[in-house]
Structure 1
Amino acid sequence: MSVREGDDWRVVGEYPDGTPDEALAYYRRKFDDLALRVRTLEQRRLAGGASAADLRGQAKKLKEEVVGAAAVGDLAGLAERLDALTGTLAEASAEEAAAHRAAVEEAIAHRTSIVERVEALAARDPKSIQWKQATAELTAAFEEWQQHQQTGPRLPKSTGQALWKRFRDARSTVERHRRAFFAELDETHKAARDRKTRIIERAEALASKGEDGIPAYRALLDEWKAAGRAGRKVDDALWARFKAAGDALYSARAERDAAEQAESAPRIEARKTLLEEAKAVADTADLTKARQLLTSIQRRWDEVGRIFPRDTERALDDQLRRIENDLRAREEVDWKRNNPETKARANEATRQLEEAIAKLETELADAQAKGDKKAESAAREALDARRAWLKAIGG
């Protein structure tokens, strides 16, 4: 079968076992299949979502099939449509390639940031690292790497391998530092555990000394504080043993204190009775009798003996001391008042004031007789002042 295309005839193919109409229908179906494929590519381009580069490649391949195809139909029209589609896809492919390059560059930057975080962790001093947090950071970085590898664009092979090598090396360094740190920490904990165990043994050996072992136990407590950490659980268990050894010593002291306090109960009551009696000191006007009463109370106070606890004894002593201080203050005032020198000075001052008052009374009478109001006012003011002074010194 041949078909005329313009001024030329083109041999389409042979159909030996059928009629001309059957042959024509067959080769038209061939054209329809090609047209459907062209239309499908055009629709996929309009719908979007497909790769422009892939569609462009399919369009070029389909054009090769269309040109000179064993089909009857407007092959030239299909070829023109494919050329137009290829041209449109060429620009989209360029944009797509640029976007892909940008995505790859962004992916490289992201992977690089992950690597740099792990490298920074590997460069830190292992002794300054909080390893629980650092381990969590390392695990998070690895998971982020895997997630990005699965969902991000594919990196160039050489770039991806170089970044992975950096990540792997940094992670290995962190793991090596972690193992070394905890190995050293285990040794430190073991040494501290051994030291504290020996301290406990010495503390437990003090049990037979009772209260007398407390000073030695306190010295062991200082050693305990300097022994270092042995790990939380081990430290808690060791401390429980050490504290139990101390509690045994302090319980002996507590028993003694309880016994002393029981013995002190009647002494406390005796001193409280003396305090009630001592209240009369303040009410006794005669200082000699007040002093005699207080001296008697003080003598009996000392005869009562020591009181436990010490805080109770100090509180009772403070109450008696306040009574002593009050009496001493009264005695000082009395001594100052009855001091011969003080009395002599007071008598001289009284005499001078009395003479001044007599003189001022004369001046006041003269001013009144003369009707001199100004002189009268001045004499009266001065006279009132002298009388007030005389009264103040007991004259």
Structure 2
Amino acid sequence: MSSATDPWGRVDEDGTVYVRTSGGERVVGSWQAGAPEEALDYFKRKYDSLRTEIGLLEQRVRTTDLQPAQAQQSIERLREAVAEAHAVGDLDALGRRLDGLTEQVGRRREEVKAQREQHRNEAREVKERIVAEAERIAVEETHWKNGGERLRQLVEEWKAADRIDRPTETSLWKRLSSARNAFTKRRKAYFATLDDQRDESRREKERLVTEAEALSGSTDWGETAAAYRDLMRRWKTAGRASREVEEDLWTRFKGAQDVFFQARGAAFAERDAEFRGNAEEKEKLLAEAERLLPVRDVRQARQSLRGIQERWEAAGMVPRDQRDRLEGRLRKIEETVRGAEENEWRRTNPEARARAEATVTQLRSSIDQLEKRLAKARDAAREKDIKDAEDALSARKAWLEEAERTLTEFS
């Protein structure tokens, strides 16, 4: 049998097949059935198969989320296969590719480790937030339905979050459970207290209903209405009984009030009918009083108004919705007459007239003296004195005009 050679192996004359590596030649097989070239081709195909398998692993590591541990197992298996391969080819190159894969998987392992640590940190933060909110609800929340529902949501959020290290997970879960238990206990205590409060509210409102029903037949309208207002104030501050009891007590309480206020309304309606007649009488008195204006004879106007006022009082009360209007019209007439009286008194006051006459006399005398001073200043051509005298004279004349007008009012 002839021999054959290749850059990576050879077949000797007896059919033994060798592969060349950096460590020297080694036997990979024997070939007796054909030409040496066929032997090399056969063992090259085995090499190609190894190279293809390594290429596929490289692609999986590069393009998929193959776990580092699984990838490393495949690398070790292939490394062993390359070391013992019955193949002809660059086995050292395959080893270097596996070394590169090992480094790549090592980096991937560190990345996965970092990602897992990040996920654990994020999960821990999520669960710490869940626990913190649960503990706040356990202490602060007073809307019991919302609080209970939110705690149930927090438990579901806990279950959906990633797991963290066991000691931290256990510690946080205990805090969450404690918060839920504390909320439940506080809620039970509240409703137990609420039941006591509702019983006390029921007793208080039963007393108020009894008082309201006792007053329903009263005809002391003002005092009883005030008493009902006080009962309503006490009702609002008494708190709420249970729903069924509350509705029944309110129906009785409101019914007692309605009996009283309906009776008062009927009485007021009857009274208002009488008062409307009084209002018509006062309208006539107002028309008579308004004919006194404008006041020409103060004494006569005062006497007539006094008689109208006496009849006004005798006419009696008027409906409340007309009272302010009617009283206002009469008050304006009274003020007008009173104003006329004051003007008349000022006009006929002897002391005021004497003061007015004295003021006029004094101003006229002052004007005479100023006119003489002005004449002398003009004769002497003293410009400053002329101006001062003219200014003073102008002011005195204006004062005199006002004083004479005041004096005229006394005539």
User: How much does 1:237 deviate?
Assistant: 6.5
> 249, 253, 260: which one pairs with 1:249?
260
Pairs aligned (count): 375
Measure, in 2, the Cα distance between the counterparts of 1:28 and 1:347.
151
Measure, in 2, the Cα distance between the counterparts of 1:103 and 1:20.
61
Measure, in 1, the Cα distance between the counterparts of 2:17 and 2:71.
30
With over 3 angstroms needed to count, the CA separation of the structure-2 counterparts of 1:180 and 1:54, relative to structure 1, is farther
Question: Which residue is 2:161 aligned to?
Answer: 148
Question: Which residue is 1:275 aligned to?
Answer: 286
Question: Which residue is 1:392 aligned to?
Answer: 406
Question: Which residue is 1:89 aligned to?
Answer: 105
SS of residue matched to 1:393? helix
Q: How does 1:317-336 map to 2 (within 5 A)?
A: 317-336=327-346
User: How much does 1:2 deviate?
Assistant: 8.2
User: How much does 1:55 deviate?
Assistant: 0.8
Q: Deviations over 1:127-157 (max 9, x none)?
A: xx343443344233223212213xxxx4233
Aligned amino acid, residue 299 of structure 2? T
Contact 1:28 1:73 in 2 (8 A): yes
> 303, 307, 314: which one pairs with 1:296?
307
Measure, in 2, the Cα distance between the counterparts of 1:190 and 1:38.
83
User: How much does 1:61 deviate?
Assistant: 3.5
Measure, in 1, the Cα distance between the counterparts of 2:135 and 2:395.
100
Question: Which residue is 2:10 aligned to?
Answer: none
Query: Is 2:231 aligned against 1:223?
Result: no
Measure, in 1, the Cα distance between the counterparts of 2:193 and 2:149.
21
User: How much does 1:343 deviate?
Assistant: 4.3
With over 3 angstroms needed to count, the CA separation of the structure-2 counterparts of 1:243 and 1:4, relative to structure 1, is same
TM-score by length of 1: 0.76
Contact 1:192 1:229 in 2 (8 A): yes
With over 3 angstroms needed to count, the CA separation of the structure-2 counterparts of 1:37 and 1:201, relative to structure 1, is farther
Contact 1:360 1:379 in 2 (8 A): no
SS of residue matched to 1:178? helix
Contact 1:60 1:86 in 2 (8 A): no
Measure, in 2, the Cα distance between the counterparts of 1:272 and 1:258.
21
Question: Which residue is 1:15 aligned to?
Answer: none
Measure, in 1, the Cα distance between the counterparts of 2:363 and 2:197.
95
Contact 2:199 2:241 in 1 (8 A): yes
User: How much does 1:211 deviate?
Assistant: 5.5
Identity %, equivalent residues: 31
Aligned amino acid, residue 276 of structure 2? A
Aligned amino acid, residue 183 of structure 2? V
TM-score by length of 2: 0.74
Measure, in 2, the Cα distance between the counterparts of 1:43 and 1:8.
30
> 73, 76, 99: which one pairs with 1:60?
76
Contact 2:71 2:105 in 1 (8 A): yes
With over 3 angstroms needed to count, the CA separation of the structure-2 counterparts of 1:194 and 1:50, relative to structure 1, is farther
Contact 2:346 2:352 in 1 (8 A): yes
Aligned amino acid, residue 101 of structure 2? L
Q: Deviations over 1:232-275 (max 9, x none)?
A: 88756754543343232222222111111111112111101110
Query: Is 2:152 aligned against 1:139?
Result: yes
Question: Which residue is 1:110 aligned to?
Answer: 126
SS of residue matched to 2:217? helix
Question: Which residue is 2:55 aligned to?
Answer: 39
> 200, 203, 208: which one pairs with 2:212?
203
Measure, in 1, the Cα distance between the counterparts of 2:154 and 2:396.
103
Moved more, 182-191 or 72-81: 72-81
Question: Which residue is 2:6 aligned to?
Answer: none
> 162, 170, 173: which one pairs with 2:182?
173
User: How much does 1:346 deviate?
Assistant: 4.8
